[in-house]
Amino acid sequence: MLDHIASHLSLDPPLVSLLLCSDDDMRSMNYQHRGFDKATNVLSFPAGDDFVAPDDAPDMESGLGDIAIAGETVMREAAEAGIPAGDHLLHLFTHGVLHLLGYDHIETAMADEMEGLEIVLLGQMKVANPYPKDGLLLGTREAG
């Protein structure tokens, strides 16, 4: 998927590390880095940020940055939305990579651009549009 994203954006394939973690570990990282004492589905840490992974996580230093995804949250959200967990995981990974590339969803215009790019990239991988017509499906505008 990373090569696909890079190719679509005419970039050299970057190096990204991925941590699949528990909700408890995600809650700790979310609190430490964003001040929110709750689990979220994905967090992105661009290279150079002072990212601190859980004690038992492997070394996550990488070129473009690090992405943490809460596996339990992925499974729960996918079940609630009635979508394949693998598709949701690809969506969150894509979302995280776009954050590492500088996209965000703080302002509506960039959020719309980011979501549109996610829809195109995922569609090219035969993953259904993760966003309904009337807005956000699974909370990625609040995620990291």
Instruction: Decide if 99 is inside a domain.
Output: yes
Task: Report the pLDDT value the prediction gives residue 11, as an integer from 0 to 100.
Answer: 82
Q: How far apart are CA 1 and CA 68, in angstroms?
A: 16
Instruction: Decide if 139 is inside a domain.
Output: no
Instruction: Decide if 20 is inside a domain.
Output: yes
Task: Encode the chain (144 residues) as per-residue pLDDT tens digits.
Answer: 888 888 888 888 788 999 999 999 999 999 999 999 999 999 999 987 655 555 655 554 548 899 999 999 999 999 999 999 999 999 999 999 999 999 998 889 999 999 999 999 999 999 999 987 654 445 555 545
CATH of the domain at 15: 3.40.390.30
Alpha-carbon distance values, 139 to 27, 73, 76 (Å): 15, 11, 13
SS3 content of the chain, % helix, strand, coil (to 5): 45, 10, 45
Domain that includes residue 8, residue range: 2-124
Instruction: Decide if 130 is inside a domain.
Output: no
Instruction: Decide if 112 is inside a domain.
Output: yes
Task: Report the pLDDT value the prediction gives residue 4, as an integer from 0 to 100.
Answer: 84
Instruction: Decide if 48 is inside a domain.
Output: yes
Task: Report the pLDDT value the prediction gives residue 136, as an integer from 0 to 100.
Answer: 45
Task: Report the pLDDT value the prediction gives residue 45, as an integer from 0 to 100.
Answer: 93
Instruction: Decide if 141 is inside a domain.
Output: no
| Sign of CA pseudo-dihedral 34, 19, 64, 102 | negative
Task: Report the pLDDT value the prediction gives residue 133, as an integer from 0 to 100.
Answer: 66
Nearest to 49 by CA among 37, 59, 27, 64: 64
Instruction: Decide if 129 is inside a domain.
Output: no
Number of independent structural domains in the chain = 1
